[in-house]
Amino acid sequence: MSRIFSRRKILGAAALGAAGMVFGRKLLSEAGEGISKWNAGGVGSNELPASTEIVNAGKLKQSFEELGQYVYLTPQKLGGGTHAVDLNSGRTLAWISYWNYGDSCPISHHLAAYPSPDPYKGFEFINSTQGGDNVMIYGLPTRIKERGMLGKWGMGNHIYRVQFDGQSMNLMEDVAETTGIGLGVHTTIYPDASGFAGADGQKDVCAFFNRAVGSEKTQVQMAFRADWIGATANGGMEENWSKGGKIRLTRLNAAKETGKYDLEGTKGNKIDWEMVPMAEYLVYTGQLPGDSPKTLTGLDAVVHHPGGRYSALIIRMLSCAIIVDRHNWEPVCCLHCPEGSPGNLPIAKVSSGPDTWEIKLDDVKCVGHEAGFSPDGKSFLMMNNIKQNNMAVFDTADADPRNWKKITFVKDPTWSGDYPSPFHLCFSVDGSKMFVSVLYPKPANSGCCVVDTKTWKIIKKFQNIGPDCQTMAVTYDGKYVFQIFSGFQRLSSGAFIFTQDTLEPIGYLPNFGGHHDCVIVPTKAEQLKNSRCTTL
Amino acid sequence: MLSVISATKSYGGERSVDAVKNVSFELEQGKSLAIVGRSGSGKSTLLGMIGGISRPTAGQVLIDGINQWGLSDNERAELRNQKLGFVFQFASLLPSLRAIDNVALPCLISGKLSGSEIYARARALLDRVGLSHRADAYPGQLSGGEQRRVAIARALVNSPSLLLADEPTADLDEITEGEILSLLLDIHRALNITLVVVTHNPEIAARADSVIEMRSGEAAAKELVVKEPAAPSNTGTPHDASVEEAARSIFEISPQQASTHKVRLGEGLERFLGRFVMWLVPTCLIAWGINWAAEKYEADVIEAKAQQRLALEELGMQGLRADVKSVEFGSGKTYVVTIYLRNTRGDDPLYVMSPTFRTFVQVATSWLEIPTKPIKTGSGQVLKITGTQLLTYEIEPDVPNFTQLLPYYMHVRFTNDMLISPRSQPKDDLIERNDSYYVYLKPHDADDKAILSKMKFPEKPPVWIPMPPH
């Protein structure tokens, strides 16, 4: 371990932090204020508790043990398909490759699975894919474009609905083709499993869909597009965002003639390829081509409050989340995450034809990324990245999102500069812990950490897991946590496993390379609170 | 006591050969008889018939009036065990038993006495033959003379009335032969044992009470030659008190004496096993300890190496960040590429040995290397990285047929191979890191308008488009 990361230094710093915290508590207590008010100032200590344990996962050997009767679903990204693995035996139950269905550039990106009483007998999942120029940002000396494979059938942004029938996977529907809305990034199932949401940060579009079963066709319930109107639109690229401006949220409508939207394939793209982590820099410097990068908000994902009514539209370029009421499909408020920014911004409706709302941001202190709600719905967290490297914590216990408050930040003394940065998150089944992947640039190995959800302090770190740690998943019996790493599409990949309760490392689960997301198929809707529904 | 009547021993069938022919004599209790003669004269055969080893072809051998060849095998074995003692040409001791065990063995087989009594008797006999100090020695540790003494003691342990000795001093040197002979005769006289000794040594015969000379199987002298006692001290009769005392001191062991010699059958084996275990246990412990220490040392070394390797990996991968900082147009068709090396470890320096920076341009599905020239790199030196250090290179990608993944742009790969160490003069604390950075480069002669007709940028098409480290 390098000296900067030595246990002694970290523990020493943590001890100082803990002492400072105790001293601070005492002062505030004497002033008649509680810890909640102290945190309400928006400042979380970046020191680790003295008891924080650090594990070097690189010391572990490859291993596999019976992990329970669960089906583990992983999209391959550049591999072009998805695998379903039986965690009880280590066998792959079935897999699908979208090349075989005429998709000439399927980048199997993110997915979410509907609950099934017996996933071994069948389940359905929603799998977004990218395509188009996204294949050209990984350093592949490819001729795919030269050979015309990125044309009509290789643009990506498909939303595949796939059924596992107990034996094989069957492509049931391309929701993008059915509805005319092609979205290539995050997909999240509603907490009651009655539908799903998808989003795409290249288009700044998110959409909500009902749940189709079998041969039924999916229908759009609602779709929004977000646009950024910089206060200094004629200034430099970075100032276009940093100096503030307005988010304009517009309700999208299907064409009356076709009943469909006109957002298939690359249509609607503001930038030519996705903002992988840190690619916001390329937007700032004008090095990312596209039709309209200056209006980019980076509406990349939707996560759902487990209460079932509200959803959060995750806006990366501005590090905020627009809360939408799914009962009336009206935006309610906007949670602004950077430290030093107001936490809850109002939304004003400015037009009804089409419905349009605006949110004014005085400044944008940093970009954001992944986000999620705790299983009990009382907390919302979102990553602040690049200029700030922390996680904003909102108290979302109030029934009215307009009263949701930013209370503190999860910090780490090593989260400085652009890397390492907190990335994806999920929660233990009992909600007592939050698990966060921590991204390092290649060729370094990434890791993950465990946060106590009472104190929002990091209590354990698993370092040196593998390159490019992505999403995380938990088994619903409360036993295991899966941290998938996809190796920047071409380096080593796998899934690191540790226990939810004792936080003991178990080992690695092999995968077939490049898996970018991981979901454990729920067996009942209740488990969606810990699945690809509430968190990313 | 001993009567030999016309004893004959023949071998073979019709052409039989008489090894012993018609020999007769009598010997009283306590007397000694020497059977002499040349080799092959029938001495040992005659002795064998007396000792019950060889059945006479004709005639009888009576011991205390009992014709042993009229007894059953068991009865004859019992008779031999109780009344006869043998001293053979060679000591014939069991090599795995101690001297005292060899002496005690015939008595232990008879089972007439307790173990303690037998061993007390054996010790007394060893004392009598002058070997009390060698009781625990094994035959291999005894000289030839000592072995004969043990054999004599063994022959006496069952308190025989008749002691048969077949050339008991064979293969011994002259002095030892004399000592053994004297011992035999002394015991014979002291214990009033009838002694028959076969010898070819005339000196032995000269010291016996009577002599029979065998010639071709026949006793040359039909009558015993009775001689005068050799010394006045040995003239005691069987009823002499000193003789009785001598015999009693050996063969009548008091309970006290027996209790002082508490020995059991197998005691020697137990002692041997005990000693074996005493050696085996510490030997095994030492061997186990050495093995454990070696194993632990190896494990510690392996663990230390693994830890060092992990620390180096962390140092190389996370302690140092490197990427392309900028690419600018240079003169002619060249570009100036600046990369940065940033130490994330605070004040602890990092040492990077000779970064090897190379450039490749995609042509079809291959990477074509192009000239790369260091400008400000300190190339060939060891770079001490404390904060952020910039390295600058000039590249000249004159590749007409490059692949255009983005319209008009070259797809370029930079590789940066570094050896990284926490020390300026590393030994084994060195790790190699191989980075690849991918960018799109706008050719010098590319027309921005043409580019913008194919792609949209918010501003002028950039000279380079980096790919994030993802």
Per-residue pLDDT for A17 more than 80? no
Residue corresponding to tokens 């935006």: A331
A412-418: long-range contacts, CB 8 A cutoff, minimum separation 24: A412/A46, A412/A48, A412/A438, A412/A449, A412/A458, A413/A10, A413/A13, A413/A46, A413/A47, A413/A48, A414/A5, A415/A46, A415/A389, A415/A390, A416/A389, A417/A389, A417/B344, A418/A278, A418/A281, A418/A385, A418/A386, A418/A389
pLDDT of residue A181: 98
How far B403 CA lies from chain A's nearest CA (Å)? 8
Same domain, B312 and B440: no
Nearest to A443 among B317, B411, B462 (CB): B317
Q: Do A2 and B315 touch (CB under 8 A)?
A: yes
Angle at Cα A342 formed by Cα A341 and Cα A343, nearest 5°?
110
Q: How many domains does chain B have?
A: 3
pLDDT of residue A234: 80
Query: What is the distance between the alpha carbons of residues A165 and A361, in angstroms, rounded to a whole number?
Result: 48
pLDDT of residue A383: 96
Per-residue pLDDT for A298 more than 90? yes
pLDDT averages per 10-residue partition of chain B, 470 residues: 88 80 88 86 87 87 87 84 84 89 87 82 87 90 88 87 86 78 80 85 78 85 50 44 63 60 65 88 94 95 89 89 95 95 89 91 95 81 89 94 94 95 89 93 96 92 86
Indicate the burial class of B5 (C-beta count within 10 angstroms; 0-12, 13-18, 19 or more).
middle
CB atoms within 10 A of CB A346: 13
Label the pairing between strands B84-87 and B162-166. parallel
For residue A390, the SS3 value is strand
Same domain, B250 and B332: no
pLDDT of residue B248: 64
Query: What is the distance between the alpha carbons of residues A428 and B442, in angstroms, rounded to a whole number?
Result: 49
Q: In what order do the strands lie in the sheet with A159-164?
A: A107-113, A123-130, A159-164, A169-174
Buried b (16+ CB within 10 A) or exposed e, A420-446: bbbbbbbbbbebbbbbbbbbbbbbbbb
Q: Which of A39-43, A86-90, A259-263 has the lowest mean pLDDT?
A: A39-43
**Greater pLDDT, A521 or B353:** A521
CATH classification at residue B114: 3.40.50.300
- B285 HSE (CA, 13 A, CB side): 6
Tell me, what amino acid is at B311? A
Query: What is the distance between the alpha carbons of residues B333 and A125, in angstroms, rounded to a whole number?
Result: 52
Same domain, B144 and B274: no
Same domain, B284 and B352: no
pLDDT of residue A23: 44
Model pLDDT for residues B110-155, shown as the tens digit of each residue: 777 888 888 888 888 898 888 889 899 999 999 888 898 899 889 8
Residue corresponding to tokens 């034996």: A167
Nearest to B314 among A2, A276, A282 (CB): A2
Closest CA relative to residue A135, chosen from A152, A111, A155: A155
Per-residue pLDDT for A247 more than 60? yes
Q: How far is CA B67 from CA A33, B34, B70, in A?
A: 125, 22, 5
pTM of this structure: 0.70
Question: Which residues touch A346 (CB under 8 Å, ≥6 apart)?
Answer: A333, A334, A359, A402
Same domain, B305 and B324: no
Closest CA relative to residue A185, chosen from A219, A134, A252, A258: A134
Q: Which residues of B touch A296 (CB under 8 A)?
A: none
Name the residue ranges covered by the structural domains of chain A.
1-63+431-518, 67-183, 185-418
Q: At A29, which helix (H) or strand (E)?
A: helix A7-30
Nearest to B468 among A4, A141, A279 (CB): A279
Average pLDDT on A189-195 reads 98
pLDDT of residue B263: 56
Indicate the burial class of B333 (C-beta count within 10 angstroms; 0-12, 13-18, 19 or more).
middle
Nearest to A488 among B364, B457, B470 (CB): B470
Q: Do A286 and B459 touch (CB under 8 A)?
A: yes
Q: Tell me the DSSP string of A422-436.
A: EEEEEE-TTSSEEEE
Query: What is the distance between the alpha carbons of residues A420 and A413, in angstroms, rounded to a whole number?
Result: 10
Nearest to A4 among B346, B405, B465 (CB): B346
> Positive or negative, the Cα torsion across B161, B167, B173, B175?
positive
pLDDT of residue B227: 52
Q: How far is CA B21 from CA A130, A396, B39, B214, in A?
A: 123, 130, 16, 10
Tell me, what amino acid is at B193? I
Tell me the residue range of the domain where B99 lies.
2-263
Closest CA relative to residue B19, chosen from B223, B220, B218: B218
Question: Which residues touch B291 (CB under 8 Å, ≥6 apart)?
Answer: none
Q: Which residues of B touch A488 (CB under 8 A)?
A: 469-470
Query: What is the distance between the alpha carbons of residues A133 and A156, in angstroms, rounded to a whole number?
Result: 9
- Among candidate residues B263, B286, B303, the one where a domain is terminated: B263
Same domain, B258 and B270: no
Q: Which of A4-13, A64-73, A413-422, A505-514 has the lowest mean pLDDT?
A: A4-13
Q: Which of A13-22, A451-460, A511-520, B128-137 has the lowest mean pLDDT?
A: A13-22
How far B373 CA lies from chain A's nearest CA (Å)? 23
Indicate the burial class of B152 (C-beta count within 10 angstroms; 0-12, 13-18, 19 or more).
buried
Same domain, B136 and B271: no
Query: What is the distance between the alpha carbons of residues A151 and A425, in angstroms, rounded to a whole number?
Result: 35
Q: How does residue A195 score in pLDDT terms, banded at 50, 70 and 90?
A: very high
Average pLDDT on A335-360 reads 97
Query: What is the distance between the alpha carbons of residues A264 and A220, in angstroms, rounded to a whole number?
Result: 14
Query: What is the distance between the alpha carbons of residues A329 and A324, in angstroms, rounded to a whole number?
Result: 6
How far does chain B reach from its first CA to its final CA, in angstroms?
A: 117
Q: Do A289 and B365 touch (CB under 8 A)?
A: no
Cis (ω within 30 of 0) for the bond into A420? yes
Per-residue pLDDT for A128 more than 90? yes
Q: At A229, which helix (H) or strand (E)?
A: strand A220-230
Per-residue pLDDT for A15 more than 90? no
Same domain, B235 and B162: yes
Same domain, B74 and B193: yes
Total number of residues shown for chain A: 536
Q: Is B306 on the interface with A (CB under 8 A)?
A: yes
How far A350 CA lies from chain B's nearest CA (Å)? 27
How far A189 CA lies from chain B's nearest CA (Å)? 27
Residue among A287, A424, A442 with most chain B CBs within 10 A, to mutate: A287
Buried b (16+ CB within 10 A) or exposed e, B409-419: bbbbbbbbebb
For residue A257, the SS3 value is coil
Q: Do A287 and B306 touch (CB under 8 A)?
A: no
* Residue A533 in tokens: 């529904």
CB atoms within 10 A of CB B171: 12
Cα radius of gyration rounded to whole Å, chain B: 53
How far B302 CA lies from chain A's nearest CA (Å)? 12
* Residue A102 in tokens: 């005429």
Backbone phi, psi, residue B149, to 5°: -65, -40
Q: Is B387 on the interface with A (CB under 8 A)?
A: no
pLDDT of residue B234: 43
Average pLDDT on A250-268 reads 96
Backbone phi, psi, residue B256, to 5°: -65, -45
Helix H, strand E, coil C: the string for chain B is CEEEEEEEEEECCCCCEEEEEEEEEEECCCCEEEEEECCCCCHHHHHHHHCCCCCCCEEEEEECCEEHHHCCHHHHHHHHHHHEEEECCCCCCCCCCCHHHHHHHHHHHHCCCCHHHHHHHHHHHHHHCCCHHHCCCCHHHCCHHHHHHHHHHHHHCCCCCEEEEECCCCCCCHHHHHHHHHHHHHHHHHCCCEEEEECCCHHHHHHCCEEEEEECCEECCCCCCCCCCCCHHHCCCCCCHHHHHHHHHHHCCCHHHHHHCCCCCCHHHHHHHHHHHHHHHHHHHHHHHHHHHHHHHHHHHHHHHHHHHHHHHHHHHHCEEEEEEEEEECCCCCEEEEEEEEECCCCCCEEEEEEEEEEEEEECCEEEEECEEEEECCCCCEEEECCEEEEEEEECCCCCCCCCCCCCCEEEEEEEEEEEECCCCCCCCCEEEEEEEEEEECCCCCCHHHHHHHCCCCCCCCCEEECCCC
CATH classification at residue B455: 2.60.40.1640
Q: At A128, which helix (H) or strand (E)?
A: strand A123-130
Q: In what order do the strands lie in the sheet with A457-466?
A: A53-56, A457-466, A446-452, A433-439, A421-427
CB atoms within 10 A of CB B275: 10
* Residue A158 in tokens: 């498909």
Same domain, B210 and B277: no
**ipTM of the complex model:** 0.83
Mean pLDDT of chain A: 90
pLDDT of residue B83: 86
How far A79 CA lies from chain B's nearest CA (Å)? 16
Same domain, B460 and B343: yes
Q: How does residue A360 score in pLDDT terms, banded at 50, 70 and 90?
A: very high
Per-residue pLDDT for A20 more than 70? no
Residue corresponding to tokens 């419905």: A355
For residue A43, the SS3 value is coil
pLDDT of residue A30: 39
Cis (ω within 30 of 0) for the bond into A467? no
Same domain, B313 and B386: no
Query: What is the distance between the alpha carbons of residues A467 and A489, in angstroms, rounded to a whole number?
Result: 10
Q: How does residue A4 score in pLDDT terms, banded at 50, 70 and 90?
A: very low
pLDDT of residue A214: 86
